[in-house]
Structure 1
Amino acid sequence: MKQTTIPIHPEGYPFILFSGFATLIFALIDLCIPALGALLLTGFSTYFFRDPSRVQPEQEGAIICPADGKVIVVNETEDTRFLDGKVKKISIFMNVFNVHVNRIPISGTVSSVTFQPGRFYAADKDKAVLHNEYAAVTVNTPSQHQYCVVQIAGLIARRIVCQVTKNDPVTAGTRYGLIRFGSRVDLYLPLEAEISVKVGDKVKAGESLLGILA
């Protein structure tokens, strides 16, 4: 059964506390319009950094969605940066209203974590993949497959949080990071993966089934 409480990601507390404190100060000195603006900012920060519980798929070999948002790419491509070969790729675009906590798609062991500084183009554009700042986590699965999940900064995203390191064991569906204020996540999978989503689908991190990797 789903939990009814909606926790807040720790990254959000500084924003919530600062804007909440500003609301109080403005209210005490009778600055109504600034107080209202700060109150709205407090509400938005609380909403943006929400971190709801999710019920993950139970199918054997399930590829669990790493991000909330809209599927904008599903294809087979030649990858030379992360897995170095032909892969299946799924890209998910997160707008500012989506939950931004990212989750592990498939259990395994982290083989590498790569952070690359870069630009901040709109995350739904093709050039964002090549030029934007990103954090790539490559994972080896118990079935000897390898995949890579890539957090990509966007137009207003200025912080990528990745909480795993090399050699960490990771479990499908667990939280591992966050991208602040809108962006995208790309998932590079082996060709054996059977993809069950299509472009335009709305998906949820830790809950939606993207496919099966037997």
Structure 2
Amino acid sequence: MTLHREGKGTIIVSLLVLTLLSAISHFFLGRYSVLVTLPLLILFCLVVWFFRVPNRNISEHTDTVVAPVDGKVVMIKEVEEDEVLKTKCLQISIFMSPLNVHICRYPVTGKVSYRKYHAGKYLMAWNEKSSTENERTTIAVDTLTNQKVVFRQIAGYVARRIVMYSEVGDDAKAGHELGFIKFGSRMDVFLPIGTEVLCKIGDITTGGIDVIAKLKNA
């Protein structure tokens, strides 16, 4: 396991704050400073843990859809996707708690054909309106099965920074990293009607590993 590059600044600042407050508490409280230092140390460890990058063996995928993030499946339903597909499709939403790994991964293999960032609100990530009203980034991939799959990084109430490395024209490989969201958020995947769903609401997903759906050849 390693630490994600997006955590470098946050970890350094957290360490400086921990050191400063520990020094101040020791000066004023003496041996009782442990009552301040210990909770701060636990908080710092949680910050470091948040930016962990677990070692995972990513398999090759052609017609399968993998979970783009670690989290919990909170929604599976037919919706109208108005930004890219402009038609009815199948939406699978996965919620990430602050304790989950927050690396975002491609759910399918193909070519990136669309990417757009939207500023927005910071509703709770499990709110259905967060998909269209929150800060978010929408990406579309033209798959190897000649279909277009859309997915969306959504910032939640706590997460207020979306990082996206993907650009139009990039090769997308299912399970490989495309971005990062800090401190709790959601990922929506929009699939063609007729896609075979292989997950259910309440399932706990491991990003890049668990298969959540199977595409039909177009």
TM norm structure 1: 0.90
CA RMSD of aligned residues (A): 1.7
Structure 1 residue runs without a partner (length 5+):
1-5
How much has 1:19 moved relative to structure 2?
1.6
In 2, the alpha carbon distance for the partners of 1:133 and 1:20 equals 29
Aligned residue among 53, 77, 92 for 1:90: 92
What residue identity is the alignment partner of 2:127? K
Query: Residue deviations 1:52-107, cap 9 Å, x none?
Result: 12234566522110011111111122221231112111000111111111111111
1:34-73 correspondence runs (5 A): 34-56=36-58, 61-73=63-75
1:146 aligned onto 2:141: no
Query: Residue deviations 1:170-201, cap 9 Å, x none?
Result: 11110111111101000001123211111111
Aligned residue among 9, 15, 19 for 1:20: 15
In 2, the alpha carbon distance for the partners of 1:39 and 1:12 equals 17
In 1, the alpha carbon distance for the partners of 2:85 and 2:202 equals 25
Instruction: Report if the CA contact (8 A) 2:109-2:172 is conserved.
Output: yes
Number of residue equivalences: 209
Instruction: Report if the CA contact (8 A) 1:57-1:209 is conserved.
Output: no
TM norm structure 2: 0.89
Aligned residue among 193, 201, 204 for 1:202: 204
In 2, the alpha carbon distance for the partners of 1:14 and 1:22 equals 12
Structure 2 residue runs without a partner (length 5+):
28-32
Structure 1 residues 210, 57: CA separation in 2 closer, same or farther (over 3 Å shift)?
farther
How much has 1:208 moved relative to structure 2?
0.9
How much has 1:123 moved relative to structure 2?
0.7
In 2, the alpha carbon distance for the partners of 1:58 and 1:130 equals 31
Structure 1 residues 176, 158: CA separation in 2 closer, same or farther (over 3 Å shift)?
same
